[in-house]
Amino acid sequence: MMIKSATLQSLPGRPHEMTAPVPGDRLRVLIADGAMTEGCLLALRGAYLPSVTRTVQETTRRLIELNPAVIVANLELPDGDGVEICRATKGLPRRPLLIVTGAVPARVPDALLAGCNAVLLKPYPPNLLCARIGRLLQMYDDDRRHRRGGNGDGGASEMTVSHSATTNKVRPDIDCPGCGASGVTAFDFASHRRMWCACLGCRHVWLARRHE
């Protein structure tokens, strides 16, 4: 899965992600979200091969047919949610990278516990979605090359590699205001100064000040 970078324009209201890797061969992206904007779909078609599903049942069926490199799953679907899709990917021989999206932050902890690789809260601009996909693919390739170079094993577990590619970051320097636990997960940026965090113990979600 070799990829190259393409510069993106600044993103209004969120920190600028400098580049988005673009695949040399167009990779399949499965979008489990019938409400995705046309702007996002057009942006994805410029670099990937997107296919749209609208239900959990349809998505789990097409997982096997399409063998996507990336899934973008809405947390709210007519017959379930993106968390069920996260769980469904765990049994696949090659687990795809999985981004969950949604407008309700309180539902994010379940997706994090289910093993999603990234979170995007709605609304988001099309170039941010493309940048997040590209960043995960770059992490995937970097990790896979590292594993091959480190032990000479070209058959490293695809599930392990894809799970380690993530934009979710554990922050041991931040305590949960709900239960006081440390080691919360930062999963998305609201602005240059604020980031969304979740405690996987008490499931509390809040906006925290960025410390970088």
CATH number for the domain spanning 128: value is 3.40.50.2300
pLDDT band at 66; cut points 50, 70, 90: very high
Which residue's entry shows tokens 């600028």? Answer: 16
Q: Are 61 and 129 in contact (CB under 8 A)?
A: no
Residue 92 lies in a domain: yes
Q: Is the pLDDT of residue 140 over 60?
A: yes
Asked if residue 183 belongs to a domain, the reply is: yes
- Please check whether residue 22 is in contact with residue 55, taking contact to mean a CB–CB distance below 8 angstroms: no
pLDDT of res. 46:
93
Is residue 99 predicted with pLDDT exceeding 90? yes
Residue 201 has pLDDT above 70, yes or no: yes
* Look-up of token digits 């809405």: 74
What is the pTM (predicted TM-score) of this model?
0.81
Provide mean pLDDT across the span 120-127: 95
Q: Is residue 152 part of a domain?
A: no
Domain extent for 113: 19-145
pLDDT of residue 93: 79
Q: For residues 200 and 93, which has the higher predicted lDDT (pLDDT)? A: 200
Q: How confident is the model at residue 134 (pLDDT cuts 50, 70, 90)?
A: very high
DSSP 26: P
Based on the fold, state whether residues 46 and 112 are members of the same structural domain. Answer: yes
User: Rounded to whole angstroms, how far apart are CA atoms 97 and 119?
Assistant: 12
